[in-house]
Structure 1
Amino acid sequence: MDNLSFLVFLIVAGVFQILMGANDGGVLLGSIISSNVIHPLFGVILLFLSLTVAPLVFGTEVVKTLGTKIVPIQYITLPMLYGAIIGTMIWVIIAQRIKYPVSISYTFVGALVGSAIARKVHTQINTVEILKVFGGLIASIFIGLIVSYLLTKIFNLILRLLTPKASPFFKIFQVISSIFLVMGYGANDAEKTLSLVYTASMISGVNFAVNPKNIFVISLLSFLFIVGTLFFGANSLLTAGFRLMKSNPKETFLAQTITSATVLTFAQFGLPVSSTETLNMSVVGIGVAEKPYAVKFNVVRNLVLTWLVTVPMSILISYGVSTIFITILK
């Protein structure tokens, strides 16, 4: 029975990974190709390879945080994980319907809290870890906004002193920053599904993904992410690549570099942050510094409103879904 329950959970986790590709993959790919330097096909290949390699190179501390630190693993059950993952999916689908990418990191952590409340183990939640996670999520957004604004001003001053021939080099720099952007995502955001599979494997006693660096599991999840990006990621791609602001290679390079540096740094401390939010706010910061008239602030406003309601909605939805699963799968 445990094996069958775990197999069903794997299928649900696979659907969740496709949904992540639809939400986050579109944002990543949109940033990569929006300046027309990188061909979309190369962008897709880059996305797959980077997602696969990143956990092996930069570690899986985020897997441990999400899988064992927020709620101690001895208090986690498979019905709780069902509630958390399906609750997350419901809110992300709602955000997709209104055509705005939502932070799956925010949603997922909120859903874990909701499932713990449903099982009445909320007193076991590691509040220090929760505060660290949400603090990191909020800090990453402000880092993206403020640092991108300041760096844009500095870069513009430097470029005025250099020959105009320096500008084409940003096309090369953008290819490099694109790689690090996706690597950062793979070492942080993308580890949510990996943490679910890892935790489910541990509590079910199934010898499938007891090592979070299992290359087969990581490759499979990367493939499913690409499927979600290609078939369902158009709305998120448009928001990141074109709705916020049309970007040139220099602006794209700056946004990607700031995002990847932020996300990779937080990953080393096991803190899940949102690459999509950091990237979007980096684009906004650059736009405000360089061409405020080009920033579509109505889109920014709607993004912020979506983020503000994410945590309470994810807790509420996950609580309801988890209660149903805990009752059915007693």
Structure 2
Amino acid sequence: MAFRMPAEWAPHESVWIGFPSSTDAWGEPLHRAQLQIAAFANAVLASGDGEAVHVIAGSAEAAMIAKDLVDSGVHVEQQQIGDIWLRDTGCIIVKDGDLRIARHFGFNGWGDRFDYPGDKSIGYDLAIAAGFDVTKADWILEGGSIDVDGDGLAATTVDCLLNPNRNPSLDKEAIESRLRDDLGIERLLWLGDGLANDHTDGHIDNLARFVGANHILIPQGAGSDDPNEAVFADARKRAEAFGCRVSLMPSVGRFLQDGEAVPASYMNFYIGNAAIVVPIYGVRSDDAAIAVLASLFPDRKVVGVMADAVLTGGGSFHCSSQQVPT
């Protein structure tokens, strides 16, 4: 059988979204992060087109809060989720025709940085509850570290996938082989560094995203004050040399929280069946980013949702979600 990871724009049966639940993990921004994740879930639901929305809360108290914040059609479930980043802790559903199975990869807290109860088991638990057969992979892979075009091409970063804090015994060729076997990835575009101060060691879903077969979207730096100006330029150069069609997205530019430049990115958008939800930050480039996505996906409604509080946890809407393809 030839199982392959579908592109995100392929039809979804449902989506799992993690809900901020722990004051210990989130601190003062917890309530605003809950409001923003609820707004994300509501935006996916409001678009319609048959995509069920499941919000996963980590406690009974958080589940009650979630039910108060989300629309009535959103399913709220209580699970031991750990933190909310289901893109990395959830299973990846792969397909061979109409057959679907869940790939459950190893997870080590982004290079042993964090260890929340539930992070290593939530992906398996959700997939089993949804009725999937689950196959476990014997290596570390976070879903946010790869992006696919559904046609056998994927992109990743050297910064993350070759970091020795994940799979120190695996070299480039071994990782490419495992991606081929586990996700049906036949060609791999290796970009270089990820965004500055990204504690995931450079996840691709903050840097570059496929928007069509062999068509990749990359930010354009906002000038010399942009901490990722060189990173974006290098990514574009590598993608073009690889033979990809490249479109450009505005950069958020230098975005400070508590005096530190943080990896705010429009690239952490979620592609649903009928809507694209893009994180915005209350800066002047927000509208331009929405316009770019609207031009690339004319069949979907593009919705900008504030994500500054979610960003304090280290990610955004794409990071918090994992889709289930039909």
> Which range, TM-score by smaller chain?
under 0.3
Scaled by the length of structure 1, the TM-score of the pair is: 0.23
Answer 1 or 2: which has greater helix percent: 1
Higher relative contact order (CA 8 A, sep 6+): 1
Answer 1 or 2: which has greater strand percent: 2
Scaled by the length of structure 2, the TM-score of the pair is: 0.23
